[in-house]
Amino acid sequence: MMRDFALIHLNGVRREIRGREALMMLAEWLRKEAGLSGTKIVCAEGDCGACTVLRSSCQPSAQPISQLSFEAMNSCIATVAQMDGTHIVTVEGMQCGDHLSPAQEAMRRCHASQCGYCTPGFVMAMSAMLERHDQADARTASNYLTGNLCRCTGYAPIIEAALTVRATETHSVARRYSDPQSIKDSVASTKLSMLVEYEGTKLFAPVSLREAVTFTSINPGTRVLGAATDIGVHVNKGKPLPTSLISLHLIPELYETKLTRSGVTFGSRVTLAEVRRVSEDVAPEFARFLNLFASPQIKNVATLVGNIANASPIGDTLPFLLIAGGEVHVASRQGAKGVVRKRKIPMTDLYVGYKKLSLEPGEIITHISFDRTGANDVMSLCKVTQRKDLDISAVSGAFSLTLKGRRGAGGKGKAAPNVVSARIAYGGVAATPVRMPEVELALCGELNQARIESVALLIAGSIKPISDVRGSASYRRVAAANLFRRFGNEVLHG
């Protein structure tokens, strides 16, 4: 069976959304069609957080669900259709009768609002924090508010509000909106494929991988819609949606995370927030690096596979995947009967040109796997940006050494560590992210100051970056070499 609508529950009210409205950006739909103008649109790029709403997961589940779990997300760069099966809560849904929610009351009490335009977004981000923490310390508060900008109040009273607010059972969003009937309704909807169409544009959400590859095989040029953090920005800048879209949000196996002794595999629907949590044990340096990558609102919906498929030469996760034995799992239709054909592509073979992947027509990326960081491996991931957090890289680097001998033993009169093997990759220095096998070979052997310097010069001479608004070619060469120098010296001297 097929349905022609996206089902969402909005502040406790069931909504079936079809056609044109289903293909609108969520924030625009909330304001213009649902009449909920508390959600603001400022940057329309997912950067400022004024459009923040709370969203429950739409993950298909065979197990009974008794309570929803809500996270913050940006509503300006996601289509309504992507919210299929979720419960959306806006700032209008936070107040309990005549009483403000704890976050709203804290913002009022701490005088944390002037013009008020950013205030709803801060309230929603703070409310997401209260869903996970009864009380926040300074670091937790700052982390949850990273994706929200204020241009007039100043952050001190906003942070004060976040530090003084306390979660209450009465105002818990999950407690208030976890209605058994609406949950049952949403779960039932995830068992049926969805197809919404309007004026030549169609968005298909299948419930099986077989349906998915069948659709892509008979609709050449179909774009896979993940979190739409890239497509959504393009639409808001005046570009139309692709005419053929497929969303994989109803396929249960694509939400799986599989851990083995050697590594981990993530389905294409696993969010960056979940990847970060799992990576704390599998690849701690990658987990640390993901703290600098995107706001909570973005990481709660964006996926690692989406970052891979976007194929940007400055994609933040790509250098890591190149040095961590990353493999992309893809699926396509084989034969007229719709048999699903699967294969794996090493990350080192995936990128064949600017924004070009070595995928065959109709293939879909289903999973990504990479290796655990070894006990004798030293890894560092870094990026050069104009600001520390949430910024596009000018250059990014990934370095990993397998050592024999103690790290930091290169001091005076002490034996230097020996590099058994090396893995080095960069982003922002070519049309694609690049692995550097010649440089890796030159790094093997005793690690000393002379070797570090010669390898840094080899890196600068091997890359051919371009000049753009984020940096000149010469700047990128110097930055790439210096990133390695810093890493090499940290390993050598500890």
Using one digit for the tens of pLDDT, what is the confidence trace for 58-90?
A: 777 656 678 899 999 999 999 999 999 999 999
Which two three-digit tokens encode residue 430?
């070519």
Q: Please check whether residue 244 is in contact with residue 221, taking contact to mean a CB–CB distance below 8 angstroms.
A: yes
Please determine, for residue 389, whether its predicted confidence score (pLDDT) is greater than 80: no
3-state secondary structure of 421: strand
**Mean of pLDDT over the chain:** 94
- Cα three-residue angle 14-17-21, rounded to 5 degrees: 135
Give the count of beta carbons closer than 10 Å to the beta carbon of residue 406.
Answer: 12
Please determine, for residue 169, whether its predicted confidence score (pLDDT) is greater than 90: no
- Per-residue pLDDT tens over the stretch 464-474: 999 998 899 99
User: CATH code for 95-170?
Assistant: 1.10.150.120
- Amino acid 61: pLDDT: 67
pLDDT band, residue 410 (cuts 50/70/90) = low
Arithmetic mean of pLDDT, 215-242: 93
pLDDT band, residue 433 (cuts 50/70/90) = very high
Sheet with strand 339-346: strands edge to edge? 257-259, 263-267, 364-371, 327-334, 339-346
- Amino acid 390: pLDDT: 79
- Amino acid 66: pLDDT: 80
Q: Alpha-carbon distance 57 to 139, whole Å?
A: 26
> Which pairs from 131-136 meet CB under 8 Å and 24+ separation?
131/54, 131/69, 131/70, 131/71, 131/167, 131/172, 131/173, 131/174, 133/167, 134/166, 134/167, 135/165, 135/166, 135/167, 136/162, 136/163, 136/165
For the chain, give every domain's residue range. 2-92+175-247, 95-170, 256-493
- Per-residue pLDDT tens over the stretch 129-163: 999 999 999 999 999 999 999 989 889 999 999 99
Q: Is the dihedral of CA 70, 320, 255, 228 positive or negative?
A: positive
- Amino acid 60: pLDDT: 78
Q: Please check whether residue 132 is in contact with residue 165, taking contact to mean a CB–CB distance below 8 angstroms.
A: no
Please determine, for residue 411, whether its predicted confidence score (pLDDT) is greater than 80: no
Q: What is the dihedral of CA 90, 172, 118, 37, to 10 degrees?
A: 20
Arithmetic mean of pLDDT, 290-300: 91
389 or 254: whose pLDDT is higher?
Answer: 254
Q: Please check whether residue 120 is in contact with residue 50, taking contact to mean a CB–CB distance below 8 angstroms.
A: yes
Please determine, for residue 257, whether its predicted confidence score (pLDDT) is greater than 90: yes
Please determine, for residue 413, whether its predicted confidence score (pLDDT) is greater than 80: no
Arithmetic mean of pLDDT, 257-261: 96
Arithmetic mean of pLDDT, 168-183: 90
pLDDT band, residue 328 (cuts 50/70/90) = very high
First to last CA, the chain: 61
| Assigned fold of 256-493 | 3.30.465
- Cβ-based burial of 348 (10 A; exposed 0-12, middle 13-18, buried ≥19): middle
* Residue 304 dihedral angles phi and psi, to the nearest 5°: -65, -40
Q: Is the dihedral of CA 199, 204, 210, 216 positive or negative?
A: positive
Arithmetic mean of pLDDT, 335-350: 92
Instruction: Name the percent of the chain in helix, strand, coil, to the closest 5.
Output: 35, 25, 40
Q: Please check whether residue 204 is in contact with residue 195, taking contact to mean a CB–CB distance below 8 angstroms.
A: yes
- Amino acid 416: pLDDT: 83
pLDDT band, residue 57 (cuts 50/70/90) = confident
Q: Please check whether residue 299 is in contact with residue 293, taking contact to mean a CB–CB distance below 8 angstroms.
A: yes
- Per-residue pLDDT tens over the stretch 202-220: 999 999 999 999 999 999 9
Which two three-digit tokens encode residue 403?
């050592």
pLDDT band, residue 350 (cuts 50/70/90) = very high
| Assigned fold of 2-92+175-247 | Ubiquitin-like (UB roll) (3.10.20)
- Per-residue pLDDT tens over the stretch 188-200: 999 999 999 999 9
- Amino acid 472: pLDDT: 95
